[in-house]
Amino acid sequence: MALGIEGRAVLSCDVTATGALSSCSVPEEAPKGLGFRAAALRMSGSFQMRPGIGMSGRTPHGDVRIPINFRLPALPPAPPTPTLPAETKALAARLAKGIDPAPGFLAHYEREAKKLAAGRFGVPREVGAEAGEALLMAARAKTVDLQQALGAAIAARLSPAELAEFVTFAESDVGRRWLAGNSGQSAELKRLGQNDQERFRTEAHRLLCQSRDCSSAAEPAPMSPQTASSDPILSGAPWSQRPTLTDTLAAWPVSFLFGIAGWSRLDCTVGLQGAPEECELVYESPRGLGVEAAARGLAERYRISAQSLPDYVGKRVAIREHFFALDDAETEPVAAAANPSARLMLARRILEFQAQRAKPSRDAANRSSLATILKPLDPALRQEMETALLMASDANIETMISARAAFVAERYDEVDLQKILRFEESVGPAIERVRAAGEEDAQARVAHIAEEVSAAARDAFCKSRDCTAPTFNQPRPESPPASTLNP
């Protein structure tokens, strides 16, 4: 799918007495040898027939055929290309070259090419290597187009004076270093970022837990042999499907946001299709922070294997969850300098100005992100946690500034810091305005250039093989929102 090749495969499977699919094969695949067979087989585990009947009314243990179409979404219309005067267009091209407004675009395709060459998508390695090479060549050819398009979009939103100053700074030695984010010191910046996260989590934990008990512990006693219903409890059930780490983190975000561990145990009855039913909470820790609701949500993702299902239907099984808290390394204290140097004071002014300028968009982004992350939780608890997290974010800004000010002051002399400060004060607000107003537009441009990359790679790759897709009776599905598109 990285090359935009659509396809079709037909699964042929046996249906067990419990409605599960087994002994699946793929008698039809088009185009052949491009991974659609492997993708269809991976999907076979997600199908479940009603016990007692298969598709087309067949009886259990019969054969079913499931056609699967692999379609790509239709993109929304491309944003209009701004019409720029010749002088502005020339400055926009220089700006795109100086700042690289599409960082990570080519790196994304380099990673995809490596995955293809390694056979990660069910494609033979030699075919994947050829596809990856075509993809990477197309991406390299289109990277400049994307940079120019984004540069023009930025230039169209700046005044002539702002654009000229931005270009002059971006082409200077200090400007290149500053706008590139000091990439040569990436290890140091990564360490500072880790300290920021750990301090933030510590402060969020303190704010949330100052009026409640957040202590937690694993179930203290061995599993009791019976529940209140006197049914025997089975441990270590042969689950063929269970929640992933991503599922667990999404179900109870408290673990990574606040550094709190959680434990739960549900005793459930195995239903006819292998799913847990009639679950009873036996243990929860800590209480009052949504562990039970998270555990019940995760229980829906468990399934008993088809081979073992006859022995487990109607039996009571224990499901334990452990929500791991992130282990915080000891953070380095950040102390204010007793006699700050002129360079340190300049660095602080720059970073304070940046932080204040970005606060409205940062707060809006945080609230939007938290609305999604905390969605599984009870509304009242969600509001309490959001307040604690936003307060922790504000409290952490000052510490972040202190740590980064020392980092910046060590790497720039006083003259360069004066240049950076003048640039941030004069053009910085305009750049923030452009970033906030043009984010959706930029995402749409990236999506369309990405489709052009796929088309160019597909043309090159398919010169020596048949990539003809089958005829589909339905139109392309609608595209997801631009913010979810990759890269």
Q: CB of 98 within 8 A of CB of 171?
A: yes
State which H helix or E strand residue 49 sits in: none
Q: Specify the residue for token string 């607000």.
A: 429
Buried b (16+ CB within 10 A) or exposed e, 255-286: bbbbbbbbbbbbbbbbbebbbbeebeebbbbb
Cβ-proximal residues to 213 (8 Å cutoff; 6+ apart), any chain: 286, 287
Q: What structural domains and CATH numbers belong to the chain?
A: 7-70 (no CATH), 86-171+429-471 (no CATH), 184-208+355-409 (no CATH), 233-323 (3.30.2420.10)
Q: In which band, very low, low, confident or very high, does the pLDDT at 404 lie, cut at 50, 70 and 90? A: confident
Using pLDDT thresholds of 50, 70 and 90, give the confidence band for residue 484. very low
User: What pLDDT sits at residue 473?
Assistant: 57
What's the pLDDT tens digit per position in 139-192? Answer: 999 998 888 888 998 999 999 999 999 999 999 999 998 988 744 445 555 666
* The pair of three-digit structure tokens given for residue 456, joined into one six-digit string: 């160019």
Cis, peptide link before residue 67, omega less than 30° from 0: no
Q: Is the pLDDT of residue 226 over 50?
A: no
> Residue 290 — left, alpha, or beta (φ > 0 → left; ψ -120 to 50 → alpha)?
left
> Which of 14-18, 419-423, 458-462 is least confident?
14-18
User: pLDDT tens digits for 78-106?
Assistant: 778 888 999 999 999 999 888 888 878 88
pLDDT confidence tier of residue 480, bands split at 50, 70 and 90: very low
Give the model's pLDDT for residue 230.
55
Q: How far is Cα 254 from Cα 85, in angstroms, rounded to an integer? A: 52
Q: What pTM was computed for the model?
A: 0.65
pLDDT digits (tens, 9 = 90+) for 187-202: 555 666 667 788 888 8
